[in-house]
Amino acid sequence: MIKAPLSVRIVLLVLVTSGILVGGMLATVYQLMVSDYEALVAERETAVIKRVASELELSNQKRLLGLEAFATRLVTDDGQLLDDDALQSLLQKSSVASELFPDGLLVLDAEATAVAEDQYSPGRLGTNYADRPHFQLARQTQQAVISEPILGRTTGLPLLSYLQPIVAESGDLIGYAGGLLNLANTPLVDTGSVIESDPSTVTLIIDPQHRLFVSMQERFDRPEPLPDEGADALVDAALSLSPAGSIVEYQQESYLVASRQLDSPGWIILRALPYSEAIAPAQASFRHFLLIALIAMTIVGLAGAWIARSLTQPIERITRRIEHMADNARFDSDFQEKGGPEVTALAHAMNRLANERKAADMAIYKAERFLSSVLESASEVSIIATDTTGIITAFNKGAENMLGYSHQEMVGKQTPAILHLKEEVDARSAQLTTELGHSVEGFRVFVEKAEQRGSEKREWIYVHKDGHQIPVSMVVTVMRDSAGEINGYVGIAENITDRKRADKIKNEFISTVNHELRTPLTSISGALGLMVGGNVGELPEKAQTLLTTAHRNSKRLTHLINDLLDIEKIAEGKLHFDMQVHAVMPLLEQALEANQHYGSNRGITLSLAGNASNALINVDNQRFMQIMANLLSNAIKFSPQGGEVTLAVETTSNKVSISVIDSGPGIANAFRKQIFQRFAQADASDSRAKEGTGLGLAITRELVEHMGGRIDFESTEGNGSRFFFELPLVQAAEQDTWQLEGITDHQEAPRILVVEDDKDVAKLLSIMLNDAGYQVDTASTGAEALNRLKQTHYDLISLDLMLPDTDGLDIIRLLRQQPDTADIPIVVVSAKMEQGRLAINGDATNIDWLAKPIDQKQLIGIVQQQLSDKYKHHSRVLHIEDDHDLHEVVCAMAGDHFSFEAAYTVQEALTRLKQGAFDVVLLDIGLPDGSGWELVADIRACQPGAKLVILSGADMTQQQHGQVEAVLLKSRLSKETLINGINARIQSFRSTRQPPTNPAS
């Protein structure tokens, strides 16, 4: 940027602006002047050409008329040509024709032979010219003809021949009268009498028909042909009849040309004037205009300099005054408000700024005093500020009280490291280094996360000056300057010793509740349940009533304890979720059945509305049932006697919505905001009509949100409520488990083709199979079945042998001959089952037979067995576990389904991983020679296709869950959990590698 005084910039601005304007005007004026002169010269040259063309046409007409008059004198009274002597004598006499044709007159007989001449040319008399084109034309038309430029046959000169046929009254051609012009001597037109002579102007006359020059700039002694196209720009311009004013480059010079074509004999006249001469007057005028413009710019520049000086001089005086004030560190408000309007406004603004500055300084002083007072008053909170290098810049009274150090000991001398345990800082350093992927050490341990997020809250241990430790909750915040750059950090720490003590007491209490209260309560509730259920014999009615009441309240107490423990786990983030893919409808049906008894004593009915037969969700089965129990029990609790609670389900393209609808009193408007808060109850009094802890909906919301959904409600006071929650749908390819034994984590529900010509039977089979969770297509003929098999992959075929267009046995044989369908299980459902089995006679395998009428249980059993056999695979599992007894238990649980190999140490596991291929690695974390986590990288490298399942006694963190395919807890291990957990990962891998083909898709 130019650092120049304002006056100089104003002058430059004036000069540049005027220069641009003048330059634009000059460019425009020059173009206009040149264009005007071009048009003027073009008009002038066009007029000249018109005059030359008129003169040339008039000259030719005169010559032709003179020749015609002369021809009439060559005929006798009886219509015959004069004899040769008479003709010769006549030619020797002076006449108009001899003046018009100074280069010779000829008389030729009817055969075009020269018989008389006025100027002697050796050998011309007696020469026949009948072969000349213009003679032939004259003979045909019997009209006067002008030849193209020709070379005289006897004279050898470039000539132009005018020919007048002599025709008798009878119409017979009796001779010719001819006139000659020597193009080398005689001009066609006297251009000097038409236009002013200009040696630089080029005038051409050409014959385009015969491509010859008629007249050239230079003399020629023989007919000159036109050059080839592109060789002569002027000739090209003439032939193209370029419009007047066209610019042509000729002999390295520009010419302004004009052209015109004669009506007769079709010649073209071109005039070319050098362009520099054409616009010379315009250039002269422009030079005068340029001189005037430069003088005007000089005057404008001088005027601008004077104006700029008068404007900036007062401003310069104000500037010097401001600099003087800055040097003396004071801000006066006595600027004189006089001069031009701009200067007056500036002085006024400076005076106002001075007053505002004084007010701002006072406000800052008060704010600093206030902040200092706040920092000093925060005697229970430690506030420590540092610069970007970690040196302490502020240490408040609360920090002094908490840590024992004084302000003078810390500020500008120490870093926060003196206040922390070295091992705690090193542990945090290692954690951040692992998490962020780069080294984080020293002071960066405290501020790295704060820089990324703006602030970080974390618990630390402060070390007092006397050495005792203080647990604190510290928030580290980044400080930035006005440009957004980091200029320091603030750490605000609160002593949480009392909170830690309270947490310890609370945890001890929860442990007591969990171990000392829940165990006897379970025994009490179980015993009461047995007694109420009649297992100890019939009881008196009064005792039965008392025991029923005790049993009901023991369940209430159990629910209360469970809710308290769950809400605590949720608050601490310790509640584990075993997420698996489940079909929605079986879960809802199970929940409905499990909660049916809650309302039975009050006549409340539960119903299921809607259908989501193919919907899959990824949830923790146990937590999902807890959600449903909370919502259904609430709906039952608030429904009137004999009311109805509806469980409704509906799906969209990517989510499922599950609603619990009751006909109770609804929710008061004042209570709606607190509905999902802990311990929230519409009636929280001791005398409330409805029992409950107020934790159910709070727990429900946390569970729904942890499983990726959301929960809400709709209610009209007095007209019931609708609580609903939404969960994302899982596509079939993401399904982790399948309800049929042995078909775990297949890509989608098995698809079955029912081939049956009886529509009622086909519909019955479809209903049975759909209810069992299968996808079903039907075909009524053999041809339709074969066509469907070409388009879609099926896992099983139900086949009737009696089809209208073919025998079912033929279809079986055909399917077994084709590689794509050779292994598809077939269930023959036919009234002629025995005959079909005898006809097959073992020729085809993987077939089951079922006779009509159909037994549903038997049908589903056969289908389950066929599909189970199809997917059954003894997968190899490497079990890395140091407990030999546990390995034996695992083998006993799942040995029928998988082939197990054991490794009891890290080193043995590494050897096994390199020696063989495994589908699943079952890994324990605690091993005698190291941690199981050390093997994860080797497992991924040696067994890239294997799925890694952790089998451990302790729960894993969320981050650890993300490193493996599944986590199984030893405390919750069962045969079903183990088999399904392994199968889910194996089938997940197979579905990814070899998805079922579906040509239709």
Tens digit of each residue's pLDDT (9 = 90 or more) over 505-517: 876 776 666 556 6
Alpha helices in 105-148 (DSSP H): 133-141
Question: Peptide bond preceding 265: is omega within 30 degrees of 0, i.e. cis?
Answer: yes
Segment among 592-596, 608-612, 936-940 with least mean pLDDT: 592-596
- Residue 983: what pLDDT? 65
Task: Show the tokens assigned to 200.
Answer: 């630089």
- Are 881 and 924 in contact, with CB atoms under 8 Å apart? yes
| Pairwise CA distance, residues 620 & 563, whole Å | 17
Asked if the model's pLDDT at residue 590 lies above 90, the reply is: no
- Per-residue pLDDT, averaged over 737-759, amounts to 63
| Pairwise CA distance, residues 643 & 385, whole Å | 65
The letter for the amino acid at 329 is A
Task: Show the tokens assigned to 978.
Answer: 């183990």
- Residue 471: what pLDDT? 93
- Residue 998: what pLDDT? 36
Mean pLDDT for the chain?
A: 79
Region of residue 142 (left: phi > 0; alpha: psi -120 to 50; beta: else):
left
Segment among 209-218, 298-307, 385-394 with least mean pLDDT: 209-218
* Burial (CB count <10 Å: 0-12, 13-18, 19+), residue 46: middle
- Residue 464: what pLDDT? 93
Question: Is the model more confident about 681 or about 925?
Answer: 925
- Per-residue model confidence as pLDDT tens digits over 171-216: 889 999 999 988 777 766 655 544 555 677 888 888 887 777 777 5
Q: Is 638 helix (H, G, I), strand (E, B) or coil?
A: helix
Percentage above 70 pLDDT, the chain: 80
* Extended strands (E) in 216-267: 246-250, 253-261
Task: Give the H/E segment covering residue 972.
Answer: none
| Pairwise CA distance, residues 949 & 972, whole Å | 15
Listed in sequence order, the residues at least 6 apart from 567 whose beta carbon sits closer than 8 Å to its beta carbon are: 678, 695, 698, 699, 702
- Residue 690: what pLDDT? 53
- Per-residue model confidence as pLDDT tens digits over 31-55: 887 788 778 888 887 888 788 888 8
Task: Show the tokens assigned to 966.
Answer: 């599944």
- Are 420 and 460 in contact, with CB atoms under 8 Å apart? yes
* Burial (CB count <10 Å: 0-12, 13-18, 19+), residue 601: exposed
Asked if the model's pLDDT at residue 577 lies above 90, the reply is: no
| Pairwise CA distance, residues 261 & 747, whole Å | 89
The letter for the amino acid at 739 is Q
